[in-house]
Amino acid sequence: MLWETEDSGLTVQVWEKQERRELRFGNHILQSVYSRSNPNHMVLPYSRFMLLGLNFFPNPKTALHLGLGGGSIPRWLHNQFPHLQQTIIESSSAVIEAAQRFFDFPVDKRLNVILADATQFIKKLNSEFDLIFLDAFGEYGAPEESAHTEFLHDLSCCLNKEGWLVGNLWTITGDFMERRAKWESTFRQLFQARANEKGNIILYASQNSNSHDKQTIKEISNNLHKRHQLDFHRMQNKLEAVA
Protein backbone atom coordinates (compact mmCIF):
# COMPACT_ATOMS: atom_id res chain seq x y z
CA MET A 1 0.00 0.00 0.00
CA LEU A 2 1.50 3.31 -1.12
CA TRP A 3 -0.94 5.70 0.51
CA GLU A 4 -3.99 5.80 2.77
CA THR A 5 -6.12 8.58 4.20
CA GLU A 6 -9.57 9.14 5.70
CA ASP A 7 -11.95 11.65 4.17
CA SER A 8 -15.38 12.18 5.74
CA GLY A 9 -15.62 8.53 6.74
CA LEU A 10 -14.24 7.23 3.43
CA THR A 11 -10.97 5.27 3.50
CA VAL A 12 -9.02 6.07 0.34
CA GLN A 13 -6.11 3.78 -0.49
CA VAL A 14 -3.59 3.47 -3.30
CA TRP A 15 -2.05 0.03 -3.82
CA GLU A 16 0.76 -0.95 -6.15
CA LYS A 17 1.25 -4.41 -7.70
CA GLN A 18 4.26 -4.57 -9.99
CA GLU A 19 3.49 -2.12 -12.82
CA ARG A 20 -0.12 -1.34 -11.90
CA ARG A 21 -1.72 0.90 -9.33
CA GLU A 22 -5.12 0.40 -7.76
CA LEU A 23 -7.52 2.77 -6.06
CA ARG A 24 -9.57 1.17 -3.28
CA PHE A 25 -11.93 2.42 -0.60
CA GLY A 26 -10.72 0.33 2.31
CA ASN A 27 -11.76 -3.05 0.87
CA HIS A 28 -10.94 -5.45 -1.97
CA ILE A 29 -13.13 -3.71 -4.57
CA LEU A 30 -11.10 -2.06 -7.34
CA GLN A 31 -12.34 1.47 -7.94
CA SER A 32 -9.72 2.21 -10.57
CA VAL A 33 -6.62 0.54 -12.01
CA TYR A 34 -3.76 2.28 -13.80
CA SER A 35 -1.02 0.63 -15.85
CA ARG A 36 2.27 2.47 -15.35
CA SER A 37 3.85 0.68 -18.31
CA ASN A 38 0.89 1.42 -20.63
CA PRO A 39 -0.89 4.56 -19.37
CA ASN A 40 -3.40 4.67 -22.24
CA HIS A 41 -4.62 1.13 -21.59
CA MET A 42 -8.05 0.96 -19.95
CA VAL A 43 -7.39 -1.91 -17.55
CA LEU A 44 -10.88 -2.51 -16.12
CA PRO A 45 -13.46 -3.80 -18.65
CA TYR A 46 -16.24 -1.56 -17.30
CA SER A 47 -14.19 1.57 -18.12
CA ARG A 48 -13.81 0.44 -21.73
CA PHE A 49 -17.54 -0.19 -21.97
CA MET A 50 -18.22 3.29 -20.57
CA LEU A 51 -16.30 4.64 -23.56
CA LEU A 52 -18.68 2.72 -25.82
CA GLY A 53 -20.89 5.76 -25.30
CA LEU A 54 -18.80 7.28 -28.09
CA ASN A 55 -20.81 5.04 -30.42
CA PHE A 56 -23.71 7.41 -29.93
CA PHE A 57 -21.66 10.64 -29.97
CA PRO A 58 -18.33 9.92 -31.73
CA ASN A 59 -16.90 13.46 -31.67
CA PRO A 60 -17.86 15.10 -28.38
CA LYS A 61 -16.86 18.67 -27.63
CA THR A 62 -18.00 18.63 -23.99
CA ALA A 63 -18.25 15.92 -21.34
CA LEU A 64 -19.36 15.81 -17.71
CA HIS A 65 -18.16 13.16 -15.25
CA LEU A 66 -19.85 12.41 -11.95
CA GLY A 67 -17.22 10.62 -9.93
CA LEU A 68 -13.47 10.73 -10.62
CA GLY A 69 -11.87 7.62 -9.13
CA GLY A 70 -8.39 7.31 -10.59
CA GLY A 71 -9.49 9.37 -13.56
CA SER A 72 -9.06 6.65 -16.20
CA ILE A 73 -11.97 7.71 -18.42
CA PRO A 74 -11.45 11.49 -18.46
CA ARG A 75 -7.66 11.00 -18.82
CA TRP A 76 -8.16 8.75 -21.87
CA LEU A 77 -10.64 11.17 -23.43
CA HIS A 78 -8.30 14.08 -22.71
CA ASN A 79 -5.51 12.35 -24.63
CA GLN A 80 -7.67 11.18 -27.53
CA PHE A 81 -9.77 14.32 -28.10
CA PRO A 82 -7.54 17.43 -28.07
CA HIS A 83 -10.46 19.87 -28.28
CA LEU A 84 -12.68 18.22 -25.66
CA GLN A 85 -13.64 20.28 -22.60
CA GLN A 86 -14.40 18.14 -19.55
CA THR A 87 -15.99 18.87 -16.19
CA ILE A 88 -15.54 16.41 -13.32
CA ILE A 89 -17.57 16.53 -10.11
CA GLU A 90 -16.06 14.55 -7.23
CA SER A 91 -17.25 14.58 -3.61
CA SER A 92 -13.94 13.50 -2.01
CA SER A 93 -10.86 15.73 -1.90
CA ALA A 94 -8.79 12.62 -1.08
CA VAL A 95 -9.87 10.94 -4.33
CA ILE A 96 -8.86 14.04 -6.29
CA GLU A 97 -5.48 14.08 -4.54
CA ALA A 98 -4.94 10.36 -5.22
CA ALA A 99 -5.80 10.72 -8.92
CA GLN A 100 -3.35 13.58 -9.40
CA ARG A 101 -0.53 12.16 -7.25
CA PHE A 102 -0.62 8.48 -8.17
CA PHE A 103 -2.68 7.98 -11.35
CA ASP A 104 -1.13 10.57 -13.66
CA PHE A 105 -4.34 12.58 -13.86
CA PRO A 106 -3.40 15.81 -15.65
CA VAL A 107 -3.91 19.32 -14.35
CA ASP A 108 -5.06 21.20 -17.44
CA LYS A 109 -7.42 23.99 -18.42
CA ARG A 110 -9.47 21.48 -20.44
CA LEU A 111 -10.19 19.55 -17.23
CA ASN A 112 -12.31 21.37 -14.67
CA VAL A 113 -12.39 19.36 -11.42
CA ILE A 114 -15.07 20.47 -8.95
CA LEU A 115 -15.17 19.29 -5.34
CA ALA A 116 -18.89 18.93 -4.63
CA ASP A 117 -21.83 16.60 -4.06
CA ALA A 118 -22.99 15.87 -7.61
CA THR A 119 -26.63 15.34 -6.64
CA GLN A 120 -26.75 18.90 -5.32
CA PHE A 121 -24.30 20.65 -7.64
CA ILE A 122 -25.97 19.34 -10.78
CA LYS A 123 -28.97 21.57 -10.07
CA LYS A 124 -26.71 24.63 -10.38
CA LEU A 125 -25.20 23.69 -13.74
CA ASN A 126 -26.36 25.77 -16.68
CA SER A 127 -24.19 23.99 -19.24
CA GLU A 128 -25.34 21.30 -21.65
CA PHE A 129 -23.04 18.41 -22.46
CA ASP A 130 -22.55 16.00 -25.36
CA LEU A 131 -21.75 13.12 -23.02
CA ILE A 132 -22.31 12.60 -19.30
CA PHE A 133 -20.57 9.73 -17.49
CA LEU A 134 -22.21 8.65 -14.22
CA ASP A 135 -19.62 6.64 -12.31
CA ALA A 136 -20.06 7.73 -8.70
CA PHE A 137 -19.27 4.87 -6.31
CA GLY A 138 -18.64 4.50 -2.59
CA GLU A 139 -17.26 1.53 -0.70
CA TYR A 140 -19.98 -0.91 -1.84
CA GLY A 141 -21.77 0.63 -4.78
CA ALA A 142 -23.37 3.75 -6.16
CA PRO A 143 -24.95 6.22 -3.73
CA GLU A 144 -28.69 5.75 -3.33
CA GLU A 145 -29.31 9.37 -4.36
CA SER A 146 -27.79 8.71 -7.80
CA ALA A 147 -30.62 6.27 -8.58
CA HIS A 148 -33.47 8.68 -7.84
CA THR A 149 -35.71 9.66 -10.75
CA GLU A 150 -35.28 13.34 -9.83
CA PHE A 151 -31.51 13.06 -10.20
CA LEU A 152 -31.82 11.32 -13.57
CA HIS A 153 -34.15 14.10 -14.69
CA ASP A 154 -31.59 16.70 -13.58
CA LEU A 155 -28.94 14.88 -15.64
CA SER A 156 -31.28 14.78 -18.62
CA CYS A 157 -31.60 18.57 -18.41
CA CYS A 158 -27.79 18.84 -18.60
CA LEU A 159 -27.60 17.00 -21.93
CA ASN A 160 -27.80 18.81 -25.22
CA LYS A 161 -30.62 17.64 -27.49
CA GLU A 162 -28.46 14.94 -29.07
CA GLY A 163 -26.44 14.12 -25.95
CA TRP A 164 -26.12 10.79 -24.15
CA LEU A 165 -25.86 9.71 -20.53
CA VAL A 166 -23.59 6.72 -19.78
CA GLY A 167 -24.00 5.03 -16.41
CA ASN A 168 -22.11 2.31 -14.57
CA LEU A 169 -24.55 0.10 -12.66
CA TRP A 170 -23.89 -2.90 -10.43
CA THR A 171 -25.94 -6.09 -10.63
CA ILE A 172 -24.71 -7.69 -7.41
CA THR A 173 -26.61 -5.31 -5.11
CA GLY A 174 -29.95 -6.79 -6.19
CA ASP A 175 -31.61 -3.54 -7.29
CA PHE A 176 -30.40 -3.37 -10.91
CA MET A 177 -33.83 -3.98 -12.48
CA GLU A 178 -35.41 -1.28 -10.32
CA ARG A 179 -32.69 1.22 -11.19
CA ARG A 180 -32.86 0.42 -14.89
CA ALA A 181 -36.64 0.89 -14.87
CA LYS A 182 -36.11 4.46 -13.64
CA TRP A 183 -33.77 5.11 -16.55
CA GLU A 184 -36.30 3.59 -18.92
CA SER A 185 -39.08 5.86 -17.65
CA THR A 186 -36.85 8.96 -17.88
CA PHE A 187 -35.30 8.65 -21.34
CA ARG A 188 -36.60 8.07 -24.86
CA GLN A 189 -33.79 5.70 -25.81
CA LEU A 190 -31.98 3.20 -23.63
CA PHE A 191 -29.28 0.65 -24.46
CA GLN A 192 -27.26 -1.61 -22.22
CA ALA A 193 -24.09 -3.72 -22.41
CA ARG A 194 -22.76 -6.21 -19.88
CA ALA A 195 -19.14 -5.32 -19.20
CA ASN A 196 -18.28 -8.55 -17.36
CA GLU A 197 -19.91 -11.78 -16.23
CA LYS A 198 -20.96 -10.31 -12.91
CA GLY A 199 -20.95 -6.83 -11.53
CA ASN A 200 -21.07 -4.11 -14.16
CA ILE A 201 -23.76 -3.38 -16.70
CA ILE A 202 -23.42 -0.08 -18.55
CA LEU A 203 -26.50 1.91 -19.56
CA TYR A 204 -26.63 4.40 -22.43
CA ALA A 205 -29.58 6.80 -22.48
CA SER A 206 -30.79 9.82 -24.42
CA GLN A 207 -33.81 12.02 -25.06
CA ASN A 208 -32.78 12.08 -28.72
CA SER A 209 -35.54 10.48 -30.76
CA ASN A 210 -33.26 9.59 -33.71
CA SER A 211 -32.89 5.83 -33.59
CA HIS A 212 -29.56 4.00 -33.87
CA ASP A 213 -29.79 0.83 -35.96
CA LYS A 214 -27.31 -2.02 -35.62
CA GLN A 215 -25.59 -1.37 -38.95
CA THR A 216 -24.95 2.29 -38.14
CA ILE A 217 -23.60 1.37 -34.70
CA LYS A 218 -21.34 -1.27 -36.26
CA GLU A 219 -19.92 1.22 -38.77
CA ILE A 220 -19.26 3.82 -36.08
CA SER A 221 -17.62 1.18 -33.87
CA ASN A 222 -15.26 0.14 -36.66
CA ASN A 223 -14.27 3.76 -37.27
CA LEU A 224 -13.71 4.34 -33.55
CA HIS A 225 -11.59 1.19 -33.35
CA LYS A 226 -9.34 2.37 -36.18
CA ARG A 227 -9.03 5.88 -34.78
CA HIS A 228 -8.48 5.09 -31.10
CA GLN A 229 -7.11 1.51 -31.02
CA LEU A 230 -9.72 0.34 -28.52
CA ASP A 231 -11.87 -2.75 -29.13
CA PHE A 232 -15.10 -0.90 -29.97
CA HIS A 233 -15.94 -3.38 -32.71
CA ARG A 234 -16.03 -6.25 -30.20
CA MET A 235 -17.85 -4.34 -27.46
CA GLN A 236 -20.65 -3.15 -29.73
CA ASN A 237 -21.71 -6.78 -30.22
CA LYS A 238 -22.91 -6.73 -26.60
CA LEU A 239 -25.09 -3.64 -27.04
CA GLU A 240 -28.79 -4.35 -26.51
CA ALA A 241 -31.69 -1.96 -26.99
CA VAL A 242 -33.85 -1.69 -23.86
CA ALA A 243 -36.22 1.11 -24.90
Q: Within a domain: residue 65?
A: yes
Cα separation values, 83 from 31, 70, 113, 189, 203, Å: 27, 22, 17, 27, 26
Structural domain span for residue 197: 40-241
For residues 49 and 215, give the distance between their C-alpha atoms in angstroms, rounded to a whole number: 19
153 within domain boundaries = yes
CATH number of the domain where residue 135 is located: 3.40.50.150
Does any domain span residue 232? yes
Q: What Cα–Cα distance (Å) separates residue 14 from each residue in 23, 38, 95?
A: 5, 18, 10
Average confidence score pLDDT of the chain: 93
Is the residue at 15 inside a domain? no
Indicate whether 3 belongs to any domain: no
| Residue 55 counted as domain residue | yes
Nearest Cα to Cα of residue 152 among 117, 179, 172, 191: 179
- Please name every residue paired with 113 in a beta bridge, in sequence order, or none if there are none: 88
3-state secondary structure of 46: helix
- Angle ∠(86,90,92) on CA atoms, nearest 5: 150
Mean pLDDT of 37-46: 95
Q: How far apart are CA 39 and CA 47, in angstroms?
A: 14
217 within domain boundaries = yes
State pLDDT tens for residues 219-228. 999 999 999 9
C-beta atoms surrounding 177 within 10 Å: 8
Model pLDDT for residues 127-167, shown as the tens digit of each residue: 999 999 999 876 555 667 778 999 999 999 999 999 999 99
How many domains are contained in the chain?
A: 1
How many angstroms separate the CA atoms of 87 and 67, rounded?
10
Rama region for 176: left / alpha / beta (φ>0; ψ in -120 to 50; rest): alpha
Place 182 in a pLDDT band, splitting at 50, 70 and 90: very high
How many Å apart are CA 225 and CA 232, to the nearest integer?
5
Residue 7 forms part of a structural domain: no
Residues of the chain above pLDDT 90, percent = 84
